[in-house]
Amino acid sequence: MKLKYYVLVLIIIFTQAFTPVYAVSNEDYEYIYGKTNLLLIGANDKYDTPYNFFIVLTIDSINKQLTLTSLQKNIMFNCDKPSLYDIYLNKDEEYLKKIIKEYYHINIDNYVVIDKLALKKIVDTTQTIKINNNLVNGNDVLNYLENTRFVHIYIQEQIQRDVIQELLYGFSRLPFSKYPYVIKECFNYVKVDLSPFKMLCLGFTALSLKNYTALQFQLT
């Protein structure tokens, strides 16, 4: 644990020196105890596509477990409440978090918005993502998702979770020394509501779990 901590500190020093946009405070980096729910939002196009998803990534440092939970995007809650997809057309993440808490009883700590360009950039930058045991690039992943356009929504959401799972595996394969480069290359392509400090704390916590295979659930 201490070795990882020192390596992380060296990475932060590197990051602060060469990419000032990621400069953080002088606080110590922390192992985050408990559960953190990150809402992963696949936001693409003006109509529903296989690239649209709402997946909750739970990092549970107590039980040493990752969990991926799909929230079905096109089910209306009732006559007064539209679907998650319709709700997010206004790009209001805070309201979306409120609705998810109200209807799914899941408290979302933070969100990460990933559009098609961001997903492609992440895959191409890490160069560690595999599908069916084959190393793939960003276009391969987009085509893989596109092929689910006309399948049942449950199958589509399963494949979306599988892609996120492969991203988790990919980051676990990545040499720790490459993390500053990935952050530098990808940060401007995603929309997040957490600080670089918390991002690094969550990454530090997730890396310490050892088991990167997430439990998977599908909620309607």
Q: Which two tokens stand for residue 197?
A: 């400090």
Q: Span 5-30, mean pLDDT?
A: 45
131 forms beta bridges with 134
Number of domains in the chain: 1
Name the residue with higher pLDDT: 101 or 197. 101
* CA of residue 76 relative to chain centroid, distance: 24
Better pLDDT: 138 or 86: 138
- Report which of residues 93 and 176 the model is more confident about: 93
Rounded-to-integer distance, Cα 54 and Cα 84, Å = 8
pLDDT value of residue 157:
92
pLDDT at 2 over 70: no
Please enumerate in sequence order all residues whose Cβ is within 8 A of that of 52, keeping only pairs 6 or more positions apart, or say none.
Answer: 42, 43, 44, 45, 73, 85
Centroid of chain to Cα 210: 18
- The whole domain housing 102 covers 2-219
**What does the DSSP assignment read for 16-32?**
HHH-GGG---SPPP---
**pLDDT at site 20:** 38
Q: Assign 15 a pLDDT band (cuts: 50, 70, 90).
A: very low
Write the DSSP assignment of 162-204 as a string of letters: HHHHHHHHHHHHS-GGGHHHHHHHHGGGSEESS-HHHHHHHHH
Q: Quick one: pLDDT at residue 19?
A: 39
Q: For the residues 190-212, what does the mean pLDDT come to?
A: 79
% of the chain surpassing 90 pLDDT: 33
CA distances from 214 to 4, 126, 166, 209 (A): 22, 20, 10, 11
Length of the chain counted residue by residue: 220
Question: CA-to-CA distance for 172 and 174, rounded, in angstroms?
Answer: 5
Average pLDDT of the residues of the chain: 80
Q: Is the pLDDT of residue 94 over 60?
A: yes
CATH number of the domain that residue 138 is part of: 3.40.630.190
- What is the Cα–Cα distance from 90 to 201, expressed in whole angstroms? 30
pLDDT of residue 47: 66
Q: pTM of the prediction?
A: 0.82
Interatomic CA distance for residues 83 and 77, integer angstroms: 7
Instruction: For residue 153, give the nearest of 38, 52, 44, 66 by alpha carbon.
Output: 52
140-185 pLDDT tens trace: 999 999 999 889 889 999 999 999 999 988 888 877 667 778 877 8
